[in-house]
Structure 1
Amino acid sequence: MALSARLLTLRHSPILLQLPPYLSALCILIGIAWLSILPLNEYSRQTYVSENAILPGQVHTYFGGSEHNVFRAYRQEVYQISQWSEEDRLAALGNVMQEIGLRVAAQPYRFTVAGEEVNGTNVYGLLQGPRADATEAMVLMAAWRNFEGKINYSGVALALTLARYFKRWSIWSKDIILLIPMDSTYGPEAWVSAYHSTTSEVTTTRNISSLPIKAGALQAAVALDYPVGPWGHRFDKLDILYDGINGALPNLDLLNTAVAVASGQMGIGCSIHGMLSHSDSYRDRLTTLAKGVVTQSAGQATGPHSAFVPYHVDAITLKTVGDGWHDEMSLGRTTESLFRSINNLLEHLHQSFFFYILLNANRFASIGNYLPAAMLLAGSFTVTALALWVQSGQVPVEPTAKIAGTGSEEQEPKLEVVKVGEDIALVPAATTKAAEREMLLPTAVVLAVHLAGFVPLYCLNSLHREYLPLALQAVTATSLILPAFTSTALTRQFKTSTQQIQIMQSFSLLLLGATLSTLATLNFSLAFVIGVLASPLSFIRPLPKATDLPFLRSANKQYLYNVDVAISFVSALLHAALSPPVVLCALCWYFGHDVEGVLVEMAKGWAAQGVYTSFVVWAVWWPAWVVGGIVMVSGAVGGAGRQ
């Protein structure tokens, strides 16, 4: 009976309602710390090839010898046609593919990005496998210009040389498609979207021409990025790019096969995210992990392969980096062995991981190890939301008695009789009582703020590029004013109560937590980054008045007024520093990127590739931040004083 009585006593204890902020902070700290322990050996593992049929590096490669002369001839020809007009260049590339013996086709496309028209034409050829039944195909890709805008001289020449070399072999059980897009972003996106769409879908929804020639289901795609001039240049390592659009990842077996072939068979070192001097220390692993999280959270294309991954086509880019002793023949033999491994597949890659974080080229953390980090951050918002919901349904009980004979204003301690099983216990009476919740106004405000998020989403993805910085400035100014204006309007027009403010914040945080927990299963990095940046929203409360602080009640009015002004100014400054546009500008400054360039890239991803990072920022994070500002300002304008 004593234990039951103690539990009933805790039911009315105010300590329980004081725990949620600490629980929320604990979830945030554990979530961040969780990610920091992943580089340890106990929480990560060595990579391995799950699909035994791939047999990486088990064949002898024959690319070399006379093919070196063919490559140099093609490289010189690529350099010559780079001086020609685009129309003549496309015709020359088509003629080279026809001479090789491929079925050649071209695909024009047009995108509208940031108010500008982007035009281009993809040239591709089909090599029909002697043993293929036109049901499966592999893609060998070399963009005319790589992701940095440099002409991919050696990459295009090597792709043409490999296509000519592959044509002579009768071992192919899959068709091989040689694709040369004009750039590394729009061209691959136009081609792969047309490949997986019907003619009506392509011409109706986007300005992309249908493909006159198609093969079977795409099994994998490998892009070559080797942008050296016609005189050649040796490289040190291969940097393997694997991030797809919206954080989608190719099957880990494809990366493991590329690493096994390059490092194990050819002796070429492999790097991830540009970490050329990886020492496999904890610090280097953590740095690689952080770079992967940042790249994946951005959701943008990192190479010509990125457009293929959302279509469930496993794709990577082999990028030459550094200055070493490896030449184009080493890269050619690596590509040959990789294609022969893919050719061994009897079905689509499926046995290995599709969700992972690489710590180096040979070590990774699986989804079961890293997913709790994002879930804990999302859970911190849910904990606070539930606590606010409970608080909104309770109001203090009015005092009804005084301590007899003393005349004191203190309330007399009350007890209530509670039956516990067969016994009766006296426990302290509740100091609060249930109250009916007024949910119409809070629901309308939260819904309106989330709908308002589509305004900056539209402006920053649709205006001409020269107006994007001005639009961001306007969004920033509006964002800083909107919470105070909305809170003042709600106070004067609707006389918002403390309960309505609590319900409003509860709904906002509950929606934020549910969205991030769902997003974590699709793009862990984006959910984690947004969760960290938005974590202070769990601790925002209406600003207190100076007269509400016990140690200031005896101060004079002028001093109290100055304290109120100081509290409001500091709180507004901290809240403004956490706003999405300010954080975006701060990140651009930290990473050394131009704000206009970042805005153009975001508009490019939204319009051309369906990147939803902008949607998460402006339709999920920004509304939660605005509601947090409304809650904070409500105390300063006196809107949270009515129960």
Structure 2
Amino acid sequence: MSTEHREKEEEEVKTDGGSPKIKPRPIVQLGIFLISHSPVFSVVFSAAGVMALLLLPLLAKNTYISENALMPGSARSMLSHRDVSDGSKLVNDIQNFRLNHEGQGVEVQRLIGKYMSEMGAEVYYQKFQPDGNHFHPLHFFSGPASYTDLGNVSCASYGVNVAGIIRAPRGDGKESIVLVTPYDFINGGDYEALSFGIASSLFSLLARVTWLSKDIIWLVADSRYGDYRPVSAWLSEYHTPSFEVSDLSKCDDELNISDSFRRAGTVAAALVVKVDGRSERFEDTLSIYAEASNGQMPNLDLINVVNYLAVHRQGFYVKVEKVVSLLSSSWLKTVGEILEAVGKVARTLNPDWKFGIPAADYLEGSATLASSLYSQALGIPTGPHGAFRDYQVDAITLKVSPRFPPGNKGRQHEFFLRGAQLLEGTIRSVNNLLEKFHQSFFLYLLTSPGKFISVGVYMIAFALLVAPLPMVAASLYIDGCNTLTNATDNSAENLKSWKWLRAAKQVFALHLLGFIVTLLPYFISQLPGEQSPTNRSIVWATTSSSLLLVTFVTIPGCSPFSSRPHGANWTVLKSVTISAAFIGLCLMSIINFATAEIGALLLVPMCLMVRPIKPDLRSGRVKSLLCALCSMVLVTIGFPVMFFAISKGLLGEGLVGLSLGGEFWTWLESLWAWKSATYLYIGMVHLPCWLLCLCILFHPS
């Protein structure tokens, strides 16, 4: 045996009474070190996670075009004044027709269809039912909602979409681009009608160009029942055609429209255009909405193309949604000023260090980031473009606000020209693609129209927040087992090995209760008679509380008020609770990262800090009383209804005149109606963990 090998063996293997002791691996030693010092590391990691979240606006990068084939702005616009005149004529005809005619027929749809046909498009009309987006627990993740028969509904109540198709002269009919203009044919305003001027001007141009390689579909969505439903109904028919004769066909003669549904190729991208009110600035404003169901986002390149063309070619003021109340936040302004000062010091030390941004930019970025995070976490589409994301189609909604009143005919021509040129450039870029959007990001947060945070950056904050959970869970489990060993002489090892099963039984029972509570609103909504949201929320709360009491009574040891010999040791119970919270947050991060991020901000401090308050109150020491106060405050804030009220105040909506139960029920109803995974998270992860923390808080230790 060589000397080197002998020395290595002597380092790794030590003999003590003839039994070898192998030196633990470095990863095991690191785990033991972290677990043994978990209180310190939990504070460090949690604080670092919050700090990383506050630093995100500083880490935002400028957007850029990843796909070279897009080439936005490389071609000169071919839009002519004749095309714009056609758009203006359509808007004037619609406005004059609505002034001279009343009723709920389809005359306006036929007028639009006539213009499309004169441009050379294939025109057809699609009828859809006014309602059908209902919550069903067994169909939660079944994809886009199916529209079922609603019984006796008059033909006048059906919505009617108008669609025109331009076949690409250089295409093979396998791909298409969709342009959507929602319009309420019954109560639509003058501003809303201006979207026809932009779309018609563009459609007139595209009908005669020779460079198109993808079919163009112009969908005029009947938005009298909302902007989303007509687009979703059209997409459902487009992708899953029904060959059965439905009751809708009986209305063809009464509405005097055909029932032939035409299709083009696979939808490569979609743009929803809507003129919405007058701009508050001295320039035309373009608002971009990109969030779809369950936090899905379109490929960032699509937003980048629109933003580049709007700013550098057409001179629009581009914006995305902000949490306006944060713009006046004093503490956030203080954080921005501190970071700005640190950035100035860093630049004096080294001019190449580009750390820090002006405090005003930090406030704007934080407000936009909060809005992007909140909209993704809700899981509710922010516009009709969300219907396209259900079919994995990249789409955004563009809301344009002109700087002139709708009656100003002189400014309309310029407005239609600029809007149509923006859409022309975007469609031309998408037309250049030979494949789907794939080069840029799909997981990102926006801090401005021209800045974003990629998933590789913002996931660091989440990772730091949840990192203490497994360490603290292991440490608590070891402490709980050691406590049992010291307190018991007979069969301590056997009891120690099975002690976690008692806590697991309690955790499983409350998670099962959370699953049942999640399903209750479906059955409550089936109750006969009209009930207000407040009454339904009362029924839900009463039923859930009764089920909780039944669970405490029927399952021994599940109640926090059970006797100590039959109840689980609170340290072991807290260990299993933290483990369940960690698993739930990690699973939610796969479905909707924004929900997991906000959930971690609430769950992690509550799970780490909560402890029985009886020993702390008995001791009377200041430190113990502060720990008890922190536990009670975190558990109070962690209650879903309480956090809903706090978020209302943070978003600037105010709590004056707020019916908390009714508002909370309406909010949850919107979540389950849109099949938001956030609803499942609240009922099956957050609520059970909150109940378990409540059990720990009042544990009879």
- TM > 0.5 fold call: yes
Q: Distance in 2 between matches of 1:312 and 1:321?
A: 29
Aligned to 1:222: 271
**For residues 455 and 351 of structure 1, what CA distance do their matches in structure 2 show?**
43
In 2: Cα distance, 1:149 partner to 1:579 partner: 42
Residue 510 of structure 2, aligned match among 441, 449, 452: 449
Match of 1:625 in 2: 690
Secondary structure at the residue paired with 2:440?
coil
The question of 1:70 aligning with 2:86 is answered yes
- Out of 196, 217, 225, which is 2:239 matched to? 196
Equivalent runs, 1:21-170 vs 2, <5 Å: 21-40=39-58, 43-80=59-96, 83-103=102-122, 104-113=124-133, 120-145=159-184, 152-170=192-210
The 1-side partners of 2:682 and 2:487 are apart by 47
Query: Once the two structures are superposed, what CA deviation does each residue of 1:199-226 show, in whole Å capped at 9, x if it has no partner?
Result: 48999xxxxxx99322222111111111
Alignment-mate amino acid for residue 54 of structure 2:
S
Amino acid aligned to 2:367: T
Give yes or no for the alignment of 1:243 onto 2:291.
yes
Please, what TM-score do these two structures have when normalized by structure 1? 0.78
Of 563, 588, 591, the residue aligned with 1:519 is 588
8 Å Cα contact 2:513-2:548 kept in structure 1: no
What's the counterpart of residue 644 of structure 2?
584
* Inter-CA distance 393–79: structure 2 relative to 1 (3 Å threshold): farther
Q: Show CA shifts across 1:355-379 (max 9, x none).
A: 1122222222211111111122233
Corresponding residue of 1:556: none
Gap change, CA 1:342 and 1:182, over 3 Å in 2: same
- The structural deviation recorded for 1:255 is 0.9
Structure 1 match to 2:393: 313
Q: State how far apart, in whole Å, the 2-side matches of 1:258 and 1:311 are.
A: 22
CA distance in 1, matches of 2:395, 2:591: 18
Aligned partner of residue 181 in structure 1, secondary structure: strand
User: Once the 2 structures are TM-superposed, how far is the Cα of residue 66 of structure 1 from its aligned partner?
Assistant: 2.2
Name the aligned partner's letter for residue 235 of structure 2.
V
Q: 1:494 to 1:359 in 2, by over 3 A?
A: same
Q: Is the 8 A contact 1:358 1:365 kept in 2?
A: yes
Q: Does 1:271 align with 2:319?
A: yes
Shift of 1:136: 0.7
- Between the aligned partners of 2:597 and 2:617, the Cα distance in structure 1 is 39
- Secondary structure of the residue that 2:478 maps to in structure 1? helix
Deviation at 1:197, TM superposition (A): 3.4
Q: What does 1:607-626 align with in structure 2 at a 5 Å threshold?
A: 607=673, 609-626=674-691
CA contact (8 A) 2:87 2:201 kept: yes
Q: Does 1:213 align with 2:293?
A: no
Match of 1:559 in 2: none
CA apart distance, 1:54: 0.7
Distance 1:228 1:568, change over 3 A: closer
Amino acid at match of 2:669: A
Partner of 2:612: 542
CA distance in 2, matches of 1:341, 1:360: 22
Change (3 A) 1:60 1:267: same
Change (3 A) 1:569 1:263: closer
Aligned partner (choices 212, 216, 222) of residue 176 of structure 1? 216
- In structure 2, what residue type is equivalent to 1:20? S
SS in 1 for 2:129: strand
Are the aligned partners of 1:21 and 1:384 in contact in 2 as well (CA < 8 Å)? yes
Q: Residue 501 of structure 1: CA displacement?
A: 4.1
Aligned pair in 2 of structure 1 residues 298, 128: CA closer, same or farther (>3 Å)? same
- Distance, in Å, in 2 between the alignment partners of 1:447 and 1:75 is 61
Task: Check whether the contact 1:108–1:120 (CA below 8 A) recurs between aligned residues.
Answer: yes
Cα 1:328/1:478, change in 2 over 3 Å: same
Query: Does structure 2 retain, via aligned residues, the 8 Å contact 1:235–1:320?
Result: no
| TM alignment of 1:439-588, pairs within 5 A | 439-460=500-521, 463=525, 466-475=531-540, 490-491=556-557, 497=566, 499-535=568-604, 536-545=606-615, 549=619, 575-588=635-648
Contact 2:49 2:464 in 1 (8 A): yes
1:63, 1:165 within 8 Å by CA — same for their partners in 2? yes
Cα displacement (A) at 1:282: 2.0
Select which of 211, 225, 228 maps to 1:185. 228
Matched to 2:576, the amino acid is F
Greater shift, 314-323 or 48-57, is seen at 314-323
Q: 1:274 offset after TM fit, Å?
A: 5.4
Paired with 1:69 and 1:388, the residues of 2 have a C-alpha distance of 74
The number of equivalent residue pairs is 578
For the 8 Å contact 1:395–1:432, the answer to whether it is kept is no
Contiguous gaps of at least 5 residues in structure 1: 204-209, 401-430, 553-562
**What secondary structure is seen at the aligned counterpart in 2 of 1:307?**
helix
Mapped to 2, the partners of 1:234 and 1:568 lie a distance apart of 55
Unaligned 5+ runs, structure 2: 1-9, 17-22, 136-147, 151-156, 247-258, 328-357, 405-410
- CA distance in 2 between partners of 1:272 and 1:202 (Å): 44
**8 Å Cα contact 1:395/1:434 also seen in 2:** no
**Does the 8 Å CA contact 1:375/1:517 hold for their aligned counterparts?**
no
Match of 2:344 in 1: none
How is 1:295-444 mapped onto 2 (pairs within 5 angstroms)? 295-321=375-401, 323=403, 327-395=415-483, 398=486, 435-444=496-505
Say if 1:64 and 1:333, in contact at 8 Å, map to a contact too. no
**DSSP 3-state at the match of 1:222:** strand
| 1:391-439 Cα shifts (integer Å, max 9, x gaps) | 3433355599xxxxxxxxxxxxxxxxxxxxxxxxxxxxxx999822234
Counterpart secondary structure, 2:446: strand
Structure 1 residues 451 and 262: CA distance shift in structure 2, 3 A: same
Cα separation, 2, equivalents of 1:250 and 1:359: 16
Matching residue's letter, 1:451:
L
Q: Which residue pairs with 1:603 in the alignment?
A: 669
Counterparts in 2 of 1:251 and 1:356: CA distance versus 1, 3 Å: same
For 1:79 and 1:576, the matched residues in 2 are separated by: 55
Contact 1:391/1:502, CA 8 A, preserved across alignment: yes
SS in 1 for 2:72: coil
Mapped partners of 2:188, 2:682: distance in 1 = 28
